């Protein structure tokens, strides 16, 4: 199986690349700049999400795509639109034209960030994006649904919490995912024989999780890592942070607090 990874020079891709060794015949890495240290099974193809021709070249001969590329945090709308709206559409369209069978889309918890932390939500609740970035991730989920239904691609959208070796604060005790668990979800998207289109939460086995991840478990997801194993360090780090009267109410944290000028009572009710 030949797999394309977009955004290959980014932080999440850098954590995942070593874990892909031995899993697939070839991993094609694409980004605007080359990542460091190509392994024997890796090949780099320069591609820009705004350039359909370069995406066509990157998708040529590929069986599945791990789409990590795009703007990875909040920005002005013009930046988000170019990278995560137009860029996402271009990627799915290039995949369709190249005959790619599967796309794993890196969505985000910020697509539902304005849900209060007291709520436990699944994937059937309406999106509540907390930012322009969150809007773009909700859009990407809709694009994935469209390409699955209209053109037969198999699509898994993963609402990633926060990826890393350990959770770094109190909020991340609820949303953290170890990179090995994220790889497990990605493999479901690339390999599950009955996948059509699904949205799952990218979260490890966290006792404090705000998310009902039964869709992922039904697809065979069995996370190995637990945020509670790191609770003392995370809470110690949290104690050094100033309180955030808005961000601390919502699942999206500081993304909700930035520029907030709404009615806090109505938004959090």
Please give the positions annotated as active site. Answer: 133
CA 257 – CA 246 distance, rounded (Å):
5
SS (H, E, C) the chain: CEEEEECCCCHHHHHHHHHHCCCCCEEEEEECCCCCCCCCCEEEEECCCCCHHHHHHHHCCCCEEEECCCCCCCCCHHHHHHHHHHHHHHHHHHHHHHCCCEEEEEEEHHHCCCCECCCCECCCCCCCCCCHHHHHHHHHHHHHHHHHHHHCCEEEEEEECEECCCCCCHHHHHHEECHHHHHHHHHHHHHCCCCCEEEEEECCCCCCCCECCHHHHHCCCCCCCCHHHHHHHHHHHHHCCCCCCCHHHECCCHHHHCCCCCCHHHHHC
Give me 55's structure tokens.
């995406």
Cβ atoms within 10 Å of 140's Cβ, excluding its own? 27
Residue given tokens 């030949």 in the structure block: 2
- What are the two backbone dihedrals, phi and then psi, of residue 68, each rounded to the nearest 5 degrees? -105, -5
């Amino acid at each position: 199986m030949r797999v394309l990874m977009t955004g290959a020079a980014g932080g999440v891709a850098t954590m995942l690349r070593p874990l892909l060794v031995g899993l697939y015949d070839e991993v094609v890495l694409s980004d605007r700049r080359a990542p460091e240290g190509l392994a024997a099974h890796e090949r780099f193809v320069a591609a820009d999400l705004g350039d359909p021709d370069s995406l066509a070249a990157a998708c040529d001969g590929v069986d599945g795509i791990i789409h990590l590329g795009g703007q990875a945090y909040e920005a002005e709308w013009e930046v988000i639109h170019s990278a995560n709206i137009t860029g996402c559409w271009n990627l799915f369209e290039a995949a369709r034209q190249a005959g790619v069978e599967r796309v794993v889309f890196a969505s985000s918890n910020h697509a539902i960030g304005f849900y209060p932390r007291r709520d436990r939500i699944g994937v059937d609740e309406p999106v509540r994006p907390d930012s322009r970035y969150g809007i773009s991730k909700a859009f990407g989920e809709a694009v994935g649904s469209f390409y699955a239904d209209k053109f037969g691609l198999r699509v898994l959208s993963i609402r990633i919490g926060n990826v890393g070796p350990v959770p770094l604060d109190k909020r991340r005790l609820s949303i953290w995912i170890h990179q090995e668990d994220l790889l497990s979800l990605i493999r479901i998207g690339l390999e599950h024989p009955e996948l059509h289109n699904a949205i799952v939460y990218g979260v490890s086995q966290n006792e404090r999780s705000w998310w009902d991840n039964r869709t992922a478990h039904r697809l065979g997801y069995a996370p190995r890592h637990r945020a509670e194993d790191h609770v003392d360090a995370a809470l110690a780090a949290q104690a050094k942070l100033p309180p955030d009267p808005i961000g601390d109410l919502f699942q999206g944290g500081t993304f909700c607090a930035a520029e907030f000028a709404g009615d806090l009572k109505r938004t959090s009710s």
